[in-house]
Amino acid sequence: MKIVVVGYALTSKKIKSFLQPKLEGIARNKGILFVAIDQTKPLSDQGPFDIVLHKLSGKEWQHVLEDYRQTHPDVTVLDPPDAIQHVYNRQSMLEDVADLNLSDAYGKVGVPRQLVIKKDPSSIPDAVNSAGLRLPLVAKPLVAKSHELSLAYDQYSLKKLEPPLVLQEFINHGGVLFKVYIVGEAIKVVRRFSLPDVSKPELLKNAGVFRFPRVSCAAATADEADLDPSVAELPPRPLLEKLARELRRRLGLRLFNLDIIREHGSADKYYVIDINYFPGYGKMPEYEHIFTDFLLSLARSK
């Protein structure tokens, strides 16, 4: 059996959450070896690798990888740096979902209406008005690696926020979201608690912006919770398969997840609100088997 060598360049946090002993054990049994990349040495002096797995930031690292891809076309780099940059910006992140305009017998998938504010917070109320965005609005940093989130009940309070940011219409969805993890062709969905619905009276009664810490983190799993079945029901598998297949192709990514919500009161109206590159796979059920099978399939297809 030929060994598949996977070089990895990950933060120590990511190594801890992803490269767990169970994953390494299962990988070893399947003939996969994970080898840490030494960033202080030239990449081409290391390996040889069959696959390079990475999630590091910085222009310098991006250039190193781009050069390496050019000079080592037989190595699979997961994923291409430019494709990753595209989802690190909340303006471009959801463009492909919007263009896809997916609608079939299983449902409709769109994105919330949104507006980008590059600078000048004092211009926000007018900008929101001319764009016809409906309150409440979610404000998110333009750079997707920042996770502060605010909910604004009135357009004037938005002046207090610091651009660059994206203002997105808040969609009531019953307080539960679906995290769709994608690894190549494999898909797994989990439920997470999310922000609760905002009612009309509540909207009229309140003003101001409310800042939230990390909302739908792993601790907020809703998989075992006693939920209203119409809220808890997972999105139809065929719809997710189609969405994942299309986005894999359009984004040029193989490792990502989607946050999807279903409009409360509707049976089939879905919104993608977030896309994350190389997310916390440690929280994806059975990721050890799914990920190692994916690595093997890549090596075999070469």
Ligand X SMILES: Nc1ncnc2c1ncn2[C@@H]1O[C@H](COP(=O)(O)OP(=O)(O)OP(=O)(O)O)[C@@H](O)[C@H]1O
Scan residues 251-290 and list those touching Mg ion (CB under 5 A): 259, 274, 276
Which of 14, 90, 188, 254: binder of ligand I3S (CB under 6 A)? 14
Which of 80, 121, 252, 282: binder of ligand I3S (CB under 6 A)? 282
CA atoms 124, 126, 130, 132: torsion sign:
positive
Residue 284 makes CB contacts below 8 A (sequence gap 6+) with: 181, 183, 188, 190, 257, 290
When CB distances are held under 5 to 8 angstroms depending on the partner's kind, the choice from ligand X, ligand I3S, Mg ion, none that residue 17 binds is ligand I3S
CB atoms under 10 Å from CB of 35, counted, come to 13
129 is in an annotated binding site: no
Of the candidate spans 61-69, 98-106, 181-189, 212-220, the one that interacts with ligand X by CB under 6 A turns out to be: 212-220
Q: What is the DSSP string of 188-221?
A: EEEEEE-PPP--HHHHHH--SEEEE---S-GGGB
DSSP classification of residue 223:
S
Query: Toward Mg ion, which CB reaches closer, 146 or 230?
Result: 146
Mask of contacts with Mg ion, 62-91, x by CB under 5 A?
A: ------------------------------
DSSP classification of residue 143:
B
CB of 203 to ligand X, least distance (A): 13
* Three-class SS state of 37: coil
CB atoms under 10 Å from CB of 245, counted, come to 13
CB of 291 to ligand I3S, least distance (A): 13
Residue 188 contacts ligand I3S per CB under 6 A: no
Scan residues 237-266 and list those touching ligand I3S (CB under 6 A): 257
Annotated binding site for ATP: 90, 140, 168-179, 194
